[in-house]
Structure 1
């Protein structure tokens, strides 16, 4: 009974930090491609009870429903942390034993990587994390029960999350994974993503190349 939680804020004005390299329309289109890839990996992963998108965005809502995912609105405008925390409360009240949450900007993630995080997780209470490649962000967090550790996402959340787990009496398990670890936030991340072997064959890489946003 572990549920996946994917927070998706309204896409208008998405990815402001990519504005030096991408137009507003390109940023929205990139987010749509990336979210699609993350959702596809989640729905293909074995061992999940279900997938929930926390969103009020019409496009993301339609994608979720077409993919068989659930849509939650609680906390959808409360930022990444608020969205995930609201979903955790809701799912815990419904009997979920745990949640795994990922952001929508890690398009090289695979179902196999998600299954690797699930496999590394221990019996509750437990906390498992896959960090961003720079060990700043927390790109996959699995916790059971769903509210076992207070969450606080942001650019510098990885080590604070480790400390929060230990403060809750839980030894965190760390699972570095290349696809999950590669988030796209800054212009330099576009080239780094293109060099990642796990990016080969992704729709995101094709989108970036076809749009002339990275060299072919």
Structure 2
């Protein structure tokens, strides 16, 4: 699988897209669990972790960050990524449509959308995700709540983007409607984005040094299924 990833013909035609809200508007579902400043710090920490991960483990891949925040775009540029300003008026799906147009016009054949708030990005999971494009045009990494935590499409606009509630099913349905082969994959780490207080608790347990600053001792214990 590693040899597939490193093939120049694949590397040159794939763009990683990372959408990122303004930190002040991020993590709204953690209101009541974290202060405004803590939520903003958490959002930026996760974003920087994502940028650092791809720069360290996949330096051969081009990355595009799309955001409404000039500060976010400036930070992304310090990691040598491409950047695209979107005013946020059309939400996440609109921002991704805008990014997809940029990706296509820039000559890429494939696109990998990765959210900015995955608690722990795992090298082998990303390798396995990208390898799945061998026999599918749409590859979905399913989130713990049925959302989409990574979406690999070839061509980039193979399906309409429908991020939101139960988006993994929506993306799969769009692929089938377009008569495309779709694979839905379930990864232990890639399934965990931090949207709720329980997510943050799991992140603290899995990576205590990285997330100890946000540990909330007053929250109820995490249910066993949260580890699945």
User: Shared fold by TM > 0.5?
Assistant: yes
**Which of structures 1 and 2 has the larger relative contact order (alpha carbons within 8 angstroms, sep 6+)?**
1
Q: Distance in 2 between matches of 1:169 and 1:48?
A: 31
Is the aligned partner of 1:147 residue 2:154? Answer: no
How big is the shift at 1:138?
Answer: 0.2
CA distance in 1: counterparts of 2:89 and 2:60, whole angstroms: 25
- Choose from 9, 14, 39 the match for 1:2: 14
* Alignment equivalent of 2:123, drawn from 96, 111, 121: 111
Counterpart-to-counterpart distance in 2, 1:179 and 1:143: 21
Equivalent residue in structure 1 for 2:46, among 34, 46, 66: 34
**Which segments of 5 or more consecutive residues in structure 1 lack a partner in the other structure?**
none
Q: Size of the alignment, in residue pairs?
A: 208
Residues 13 and 74 (structure 1), Cα distance of their counterparts in 2 relative to 1, 3 Å cut: closer
Of 101, 113, 120, 1:101 maps to: 113
Aligned counterparts of 2:202 and 2:186: Cα–Cα separation in 1: 17
Residues 150-161 of structure 1 mapped to structure 2, 5 A cutoff: 150-161=160-171
Cα distance change, pair 14–156 in 1 and its aligned pair in 2 (3 A):
same
Report the 3-state secondary structure (helix = DSSP H, G, I; strand = E; otherwise coil) of the residue aligned with 2:83: strand
Once residues 201 and 46 of structure 2 are traced to their aligned partners in structure 1, the CA distance between those partners, rounded to angstroms, is 15
1:133 aligned partner:
144
CA distance in 1, matches of 2:53, 2:154: 21
Structure 2 residue 213 is matched with structure 1 residue 207: yes
SS in 2 for 1:148: coil
Question: TM (normalized to structure 2)?
Answer: 0.82
Query: Over aligned residues, Cα RMSD in angstroms?
Result: 2.3
| Secondary structure in 2 matching 1:82 | helix
Q: Which entry has the higher C-alpha Rg, 1 or 2?
A: 2
Preserved CA contact (<8 Å) 1:126 1:145: yes
Give the structure-1-normalised TM-score. 0.87
| Matching residue of 1:68 | 80
How far did 1:42 drift? Answer: 2.4
User: How far, CA to CA, are the matches of 2:112 and 2:218 in structure 1?
Assistant: 32
Report the Cα distance in structure 2 between the residues aligned to 1:159 and 1:87, rounded to whole angstroms.
Answer: 22
> How big is the shift at 1:22?
0.4
Shift of 1:122: 2.2
